[in-house]
A and B are shown apart, each in its own frame.
Chain A
Amino acid sequence: MSNILEIKHLRKTFGTNEVLKDINFSVSKGEVVCIIGASGSGKSTLLRCINLLEYPTSGEILYHGQNILELNVSNAVYRAKMGMVFQQFNLFNNLTVLDNCVVGQVKVLKRDKKTARKIAMEYLDLVGMSQFINAKPHQISGGQKQRVAIARALSMEPEALLFDEPTSALDPEMVGEVLKVMKNLAQSGLTMLVVTHEMGFARDVANRVVFMDEGVIVEEDVPEVIFNNPRNERTRTFLKRILEKE
């Protein structure tokens, strides 16, 4: 399997606060990787570094072997290849559901409007939102917004999709509809990197689970090992605390 993404010695500091300390890991094509860990462990920052929403303090991010932190690599082209789904959805408030999925294709990928609309419709259909193309973001529910956000990211036909706690801002009854869409995507072979607190999702869908604590990757393995037989004490404590609540 070829690595889409390889991260080497990644560090990120905010002032004197070292949020990520020497992160090394890789993602290969078709893989679904879930990143779990307590709040403040650096998982969201890691994801945001991968998409360059935060600029790493040091280290390398290799995309198909090329370091994207070098100046001659266009951030825009790379970002278009790495879709991102946010905790707060961040749909463009001034655009309709359909235009949310069209604008990036037209502006970044330079597709013509008709093709862009067709592609957008395909993905809106996939997430079950094709009936709502005329609605504005404020007119639909949180779960619907997140599904549109997923369709927006998919419309760019990215190589991998990054999810930053996609269900954390949702009402409990809406979590299911979003997770279902994500599960279907995982089964379709999309490369996904998911920061999540949904342990059930991680266990059922992930090929690999990464546990982070205090800015380092403590343990990574297949979900069976992480959830049933974690080697590290910190992983065990975290999972015990989380799973007791569930």
Chain B
Amino acid sequence: MSADASFFQWVAFIWEQNWPLFLRGAGNTILIALTGTIIGFLIGIVIGIIRTIPVDHNTSLLKRIILKIADVLLLCYIEVFRGTPMMVQAMVIFYGIAMIYGIHLNPIPAGIVIVSINTGAYMAEIVRGGILSIDKGQFEAAHAIGMTHAQTMSSIILPQAIRNILPATSNEFVINIKDTCVLSVISISELFFNSKSAAGANFRYFETFLITCIIYLIMTFTITRILRWFEKKLDGPSVYTIHGSQTVPEAEIRIVDGGKLHV
């Protein structure tokens, strides 16, 4: 590459030289972010459910004590992992386990663990908020027909709460895609780490990281579109069918939201 090559020639050159490195990095970033978000989401759901278990006059003393202890422990978990940077958590966990137990974790599984528990701490509060946002009447109606708390949660409340927290969840996913770059401190070969390697070979930081930037943007943009589509799918059709009319019993009338009639 000659010294007077233009900016775009440099960008093209770096991509040609390093595209497998970029793609591998992007692949690892997606792998860690996706797995971490899913596991974190599940952690959040479990904690959110535990922290919203109602305590009333019927609750036995033992159950009250267990719930109280669980609540304190979970609150500690949430506060610690929300209150410290993920980069620092990565250092502490990765090197801490190596020092105390003599176990050298593989970087990628270690990265997944860190992202998962970090996301879990955020999701726990998001899920709790999602559950609390459901109208009290939904609980009352379910209890009034004799459903237990567990049945109410699984059939009525969680489906609505999860739908409501999906936007926040896709937010977390996007944040995770971007924030996995801090895991480069424990030498995980994700996109940022690999970009640094690429840039180190040619000292063209701006051109290299411009490519990195575009790859991040493509990933986050694609992910948000996919999740938006998923949300719409969960909302179900905006059309429903009326079965039979008073004059023609076998007629099917399609009603579209907003009152437009399609016969």
Q: Which residues of A are in contact with B by a Cβ distance under 8 Å?
A: 51, 53, 55, 71, 75-80, 82-84, 86, 88-96, 103-104, 107-108, 130-136, 139, 149, 152-153, 156
Distance in Å from the Cβ of B155 to the closest Cβ of chain A?
6
Within the complex, which residue of B145, B163, B245, B255 is in contact with A153, where a contact is CB–CB below 8 Å? B145
Query: Which of B86-94, B123-131, B134-142 faces chain A?
Result: B134-142
In the complex, chain A residues whose CB is within 8 Å of the CB of B137: 86, 88-90
Q: With A and B bound together, what is the CA distance between A213 and B56 in angstroms?
A: 29
Q: Does B83 contact A (CB under 8 A)?
A: no
Contacting pair A92 B146 (CB below 8 A) = no
Contacting pair A84 B151 (CB below 8 A) = no
The chain A residue sitting closest to B259, CB to CB, is: A139
Closest 10 pairs (CB-CB, A-B): A80-B146, A90-B137, A90-B141, A104-B145, A84-B144, A108-B146, A76-B146, A79-B146, A94-B159, A135-B240
Distance in Å from the Cβ of B169 to the closest Cβ of chain A?
17
Given A71-B58, A80-B145, residue A94 in contact with residue B240 (CB < 8 A): no
Q: Is the interface of B mostly helix, strand, loop or mixed?
A: mixed
Given A131-B242, A131-B244, residue A92 in contact with residue B144 (CB < 8 A): no
Count of interface residues, chain B, beta-carbon cutoff 8 Å: 30
Distance in Å from the Cβ of B231 to the closest Cβ of chain A?
14
The chain B residue sitting closest to A57, CB to CB, is: B57
8 A Cβ contacts from B183-226 to A: none
Q: With A and B bound together, what is the CA distance between A156 and B56 in angstroms?
A: 26
Given A86-B137, A103-B155, A131-B242, residue A108 in contact with residue B147 (CB < 8 A): yes
Distance in Å from the Cβ of B82 to the closest Cβ of chain A?
29
Q: Does B102 contact A (CB under 8 A)?
A: no
Contacting pair A77 B146 (CB below 8 A) = yes
Given A77-B146, A88-B137, A139-B257, residue A94 in contact with residue B163 (CB < 8 A): yes
In the complex, chain B residues whose CB is within 8 Å of the CB of A91: 141
Contacting pair B143 A79 (CB below 8 A) = yes
In the complex, chain A residues whose CB is within 8 Å of the CB of B141: 84, 86, 90-92, 149
Q: With A and B bound together, what is the CA distance between A83 and B156 in angstroms?
A: 18
Contacting pair B146 A104 (CB below 8 A) = yes
